[in-house]
Amino acid sequence: MSIFTGAGVAIITPFNEDGTVNYDAFGEIIEAQIKGGSDAIIVCGTTGESSTMNDEEHIAVIKYCVDKVAKRVPVIAGSGSNCTREAVNISREAERVGADGLLCVTPYYNKCTQEGLYQYYKAISDAVNIPIIMYNVPSRTGTTIQPETAVRIAKEVKNVVAIKEASGNISAVAKLASLAEGCIDIYSGNDDQVLPILSLGGKGVISVWSHVAPKKVHDMVMAFLDGDIATAQKLQLEAIDVIGALFSEVNPIPVKAAMNMLGFNAGPVRAPLTELSDKNKEVLKKSLKEYGVL
């Protein structure tokens, strides 16, 4: 059974000026996403700046999200690490505080082999009882889950049910879908490639774009799955410029700037990330206005 079908938002973590988590703003953003039609909340992922959080803070943010969402949509907690032991510990804690599923990025910096990836996901799976989404994003981690490995893990590791595909390699996604024959759910991890991945049997997207247009992203996925390809195509293509602006610098720098522009108190990013450049702020503001959300 799929954890979700549709558009899940890879939600930001708002910070106060002193760097602490702004839970009031976080609650407002969560409510706006649910009201807007997001089908799942993915908390403490890349967009949530989880790599800048200590373990206590990481779990506190997940718990707040779980409690705030209150089962209205699934909450999927980012719990991957460059250390298997750390990933296991965070995954256990995420399950304890009520997460419905886990998003586990491949180990970064420690560039393990394909067998190492298998053992990593097996160790996490053996420690928890909730479903796991693998996260393939080699541009950030330096490690690629090969299609054959993803299928092996999905077939042999009990809780691994899906993969977030952010490699950008549509040919590899097609190979994965061909080998999998439905044994694994595929979610797009790139907002500009949602329709191509849906066309290969994908279940939806884990999205940054959803921050600024949750209903449009949800509607696009559902239109495609309902067979209204023309509407889905229109929604995808009319967003290409705003998606480009949301990734004009390293994620989540632009999306935090966008949320501040839209009136949410998203606050600053944490170092080593820096604030969006003035040039890209103007591009982002222009694209949000042309897209009709600002």
Distance in angstroms (rounded) separating the CA atoms of residues 269 and 254: 10
In 10 A of CB 263, how many CB atoms? 10
Structure tokens at 18: 């002193």
User: Directed axis angle between helix 114-127 and helix 84-96, to 10°?
Assistant: 30
Instruction: Yes or no: say if 118 and 147 are a contact pair by the CB < 8 Å rule.
Output: no
Closest C-alpha to 179, from 202, 149, 159: 149
Structure tokens at 197: 């991945």
Please give the positions annotated as active site.
135, 164
E strands, the chain, in order: 6-10, 40-43, 75-78, 101-105, 132-136, 160-165, 185-188, 204-207
Instruction: Yes or no: say if 80 and 107 are a contact pair by the CB < 8 Å rule.
Output: yes
The three-point CA angle 209-211-212 to 5° equals 80
**Paired residues of 8 in beta bridges:** 40, 206
Structure tokens at 16: 């106060």
DSSP structure class, residue 101: E
